[in-house]
Structure 1
Amino acid sequence: MSNLAQQVKDDIVAQIKKDELVLPTLPEIALRVREVAEDANATIPQLSQIIAQDPALSARIIKVTNSPLIRANSPVTDLGTAISRLGIDFTSNLAIGLAMEQMFQATHDIIDKRMRECWARAMEIASSAQVLARHFTKLQPDQAMLAGLVHQIGMLPILAYAENHSDLLNDSFSLDLVLEKLHPSLGSYILRSWEFSPDLVNVPKEYLNLQHQADSADYCDLIQVATLQSYDGSDHPLARIKRSELGSYQRLGLDADDEVTQWQELTEEAEATQNALR
């Protein structure tokens, strides 16, 4: 690690220990949606009333309902019907995840570009994760999607830090090193502060842990497999991993000898999901 990268890493870690690091906060609408979702007596009209305050978010939820992901028998044109088709839990996780997009923006062009790339990556992994969840596990596809959308949330405070420190901003090599080393643990730290469920809190810090262990397939497995598959055919170091030896693939029941064929069959579905989320 470069001297600058080590210095920045030490500085951010020190801020975390002193509880001085400015963490991203969930958008107001995401907080209100979650509050309704956690109410056992919540109704569709209650959730609809909150989401309707954000026309863009409402339109995207309707778009998802009309996508191949849901396979509705007839077109849905209003938010209430969309929520009824999706269910309160699915809609809530979807709304919370999509509302986060506004967090991935910055005033500086370099950081703004990186944040938008980070969000695009999150959308890609989220789409693949929900497909894997539906076909290979009993896990909730909407939770898998949310796990994908937040798996790199730890990059946000690092990029925000870089925006205010020109030495790091102008040293992409050091910035990449800091992002690589810190974003997993920082991501889990953020999700814990947001009071996300433990199975999602573990995702950022575990999705790159190739020795991750679990009794059965979990959301860390889904994000790990989706991530590794995304590098298939590239020159990225993770593309050279022997996947047949990984617990994540074994727990999902993916045959190492047939994984390419299996994944190709699901690629179209994952791409359709990603298009629906845009």
Structure 2
Amino acid sequence: MSDPVTPPQSANLAKNRLYLDCYKYMQSDKLALPTIPDVSFKIRRAINDKKANNSKIAKVVQIDPSITARLIKISNSPLYRGRRKIESCPEALTRLGLKVSQNIITAFAMKAVFTAKSHIIRRKMQDLWTHSSYVAAISAVFAHKTPGFDPDRAMLAGLIHDIGVVPILAYADKNADILTHPKDLAETIKELKNDIGIQIIRKWDFPSDFEDVINHSEDWYRDGGPEADYTDIVMISQLHSYIGKIDIKKMPKMDQLPAYKKLAAGHLDADQSINILDQARDEIDHIQQMLS
């Protein structure tokens, strides 16, 4: 777990039962965290089996026809397209490689985590998924156009950047009576989502650099070193996702951010970056559709 969260200092937090409950259970490792989707777990286990080959792994993947179809589809997309069209699961695994396939399949299966029963919380889960999948799609396209980055890893990083919100929404879904003020949920998410997100990443045994994605994807002026990383990719993708949705005066100027400067220095065309939502719209929509 990351560094302990400071107990509530403000009067609002001290009265916020959702925050107090989630904080207490998080600190004692008793907060219900989402489990990695079953199909993703089985495929990861098969891929990591040293005795497995593409044919055996394909049999596991093909248990889920939807995952199989989307894996084939993305292997033919501009992100990975080769000289000939891929038409089978084993061929897709060969073209993409097992580690790439593992990341992509995990991303495809991730939507199962974003569920709730009550109408209000279900809507918030849907909004969270829409935002996360949009950031993931932009991240994949950025990574495809920037040397040194893998689109599949960037897509997964984009998907999980707000994963810590899920257990908070899930707890609110089961305990609606503790929400006494409309701001309770927003306050709790702001205070706890990063620490809870890191707990989930560690539970799922995801790459350790994804912890930086969770902690710093909205830390606009972060400078993590001389080289760009996946946090920078997700951060700039987030800013692009806000265009047309948030008052531009409330957003930092992109060309002044360390992340943007490092990505541009990595030969990402500046004009293409600023206009990525227009220039890469078809590919972004394509990835979003596959994630959904």
2:170 matched to 1:156? no
Aligned to 1:248: 259
Output aligned runs, 1:116-135, within 5 Å.
116-135=126-145
Classify the secondary structure of the residue corresponding to 1:56. Answer: helix
Contact kept in structure 2, 1:147 and 1:219, CA below 8 Å: yes
**Structure 1 residues 152 and 222, CA, compared in 2 at 3 Å: closer, same or farther?**
same
Aligned equivalents of 2:60 and 2:15: distance in 1?
Answer: 42
Aligned equivalents of 1:251 and 1:40: distance in 2?
Answer: 38
Aligned equivalents of 1:115 and 1:226: distance in 2?
Answer: 20
Classify the secondary structure of the residue corresponding to 2:279. Answer: helix
Contact kept in structure 1, 2:111 and 2:291, CA below 8 Å: no
Aligned to 1:180: 190
Aligned to 2:92: 82
Contact kept in structure 2, 1:37 and 1:92, CA below 8 Å: yes
Aligned equivalents of 2:82 and 2:290: distance in 1?
Answer: 13
Classify the secondary structure of the residue corresponding to 1:198. Answer: coil
Structure 2 gaps, min length 5: 1-9
Contact kept in structure 2, 1:60 and 1:276, CA below 8 Å: yes
Aligned equivalents of 1:99 and 1:137: distance in 2?
Answer: 27
Aligned to 2:274: 260
Aligned equivalents of 2:59 and 2:87: distance in 1?
Answer: 16
Aligned equivalents of 1:190 and 1:204: distance in 2?
Answer: 11
**Structure 1 residues 38 and 218, CA, compared in 2 at 3 Å: closer, same or farther?**
farther
Classify the secondary structure of the residue corresponding to 2:186. Answer: helix
**Structure 1 residues 127 and 237, CA, compared in 2 at 3 Å: closer, same or farther?**
same
Aligned equivalents of 2:50 and 2:219: distance in 1?
Answer: 35
Classify the secondary structure of the residue corresponding to 2:123. Answer: helix
Contact kept in structure 2, 1:134 and 1:140, CA below 8 Å: yes
2:126 matched to 1:112? no
AA aligned opposite 1:115: M
Classify the secondary structure of the residue corresponding to 2:81. Answer: coil
Aligned equivalents of 1:80 and 1:257: distance in 2?
Answer: 38
**Structure 1 residues 111 and 92, CA, compared in 2 at 3 Å: closer, same or farther?**
same
Aligned equivalents of 2:272 and 2:48: distance in 1?
Answer: 41
Aligned equivalents of 2:55 and 2:114: distance in 1?
Answer: 29
Structure 1 gaps, min length 5: none
Contact kept in structure 1, 2:36 and 2:110, CA below 8 Å: yes
Matched residue count = 278
Contact kept in structure 2, 1:47 and 1:88, CA below 8 Å: no
2:62 matched to 1:52? yes
2:110 matched to 1:71? no
Aligned to 2:155: 145
Classify the secondary structure of the residue corresponding to 1:214. Answer: coil
Shift of residue 257, structure 1, vs aligned partner? 7.6
Aligned to 2:112: 102
Q: Provide the aligned C-alpha RMSD in A.
A: 2.5
Q: Which segment is superposed worse, 30-39 or 203-212? A: 30-39
Aligned to 2:7: none
2:238 matched to 1:224? no
Shift of residue 207, structure 1, vs aligned partner? 0.6
Aligned to 2:288: 274
Aligned equivalents of 2:251 and 2:110: distance in 1?
Answer: 32
TM-score normalised over the length of structure 1: 0.88
**Correspondent of 2:29 among 19, 22, 39:** 19
AA aligned opposite 2:237: A
Residues 117-146 of structure 1: CA deviation (Å, up to 9, x unaligned): 212222111111011112124022111011
Residues 97-119 of structure 1: CA deviation (Å, up to 9, x unaligned): 11121111122222222212212
AA aligned opposite 2:233: L
Q: Which segment is superposed worse, 234-243 or 19-28? A: 234-243
Shift of residue 202, structure 1, vs aligned partner? 2.1
| Identity across the alignment (%) | 30
Contact kept in structure 1, 2:71 and 2:105, CA below 8 Å: yes
Q: Which segment is superposed worse, 168-177 or 142-151? A: 168-177
Contact kept in structure 2, 1:66 and 1:75, CA below 8 Å: yes
Aligned equivalents of 2:71 and 2:272: distance in 1?
Answer: 35
Contact kept in structure 2, 1:66 and 1:76, CA below 8 Å: yes
Contact kept in structure 2, 1:127 and 1:274, CA below 8 Å: yes
